[in-house]
Copies of this chain bind each other. A is one copy, B any other.
Amino acid sequence: MAGSRKTWRRDEIVAAAAHCFMQQGYHATRIDDVAAHLGCTKGRIYHYWPTKTDLFFDVHRAGMARLFAAVDPLPDGPNGAAQLAGLLHAHARAMLDHHTYETVVAQGVQVHRFDRLSDVQQQVMSDLIASRDRFETLFLQALMRGMADGSLACENPSITVKVLLGGLQWSIIWYRPQQGETEQDRADLAAQMVHPLLHGVKKHD
């Protein structure tokens, strides 16, 4: 059950790990750093995860879950352009709202490309890669739909999707949550980020 004590403990640790991985990156973060951030020692962390790698994968998974949670409830909309607009706005908001987790997602599975992973870890890594692809496909489908219904236009849909998502996801580099930032501030920023991207694929006669 989602609200169990054990789940709560795990989530608390995942959040602390996300913070540390965001600030310092995976390799520079020591398990002791995560523990210190929680005000405990690493004994607690090793009680819930066997290795640092497994903890990272769970933070990554939590980040992906937040990305999907932002776009899954969206309606399809009247045409491809409207659908893509909804997706991009929701994704921009998610990148800002969950900046900590998404910075970890951006470090991605790349960090473990050269690690020796167990079979189980390898499977987890494959699942994470698959979920990233699935996420990108949501945007690709909206773009293709828009090209079919005449509301959108572009030369190379699969490259274009990567560029559009990149424009939003690069915010992990320059954006930092601000003290006293309101919901409205973030909504405005998200809109300003999406505008040039959406305008770039809209069909103009």
Contact = CB atoms under 8 A, between A and B. Distances in A.
Copies in the complex: 2
Contact of A199 (B110, B189, B201): B201
Contact of A28 (B114, B168, B195): B114
A189 B160 CA distance: 10
Nearest to A114: B24
A4 to B, nearest CB: 35
Interface residues of A, number: 41
Interface stretch (A40-48, A72-80, A151-159): A151-159
A160 B196 contact: yes
A1 interface: no
Interface in A149-173: 154-156, 159-160, 162-171, 173
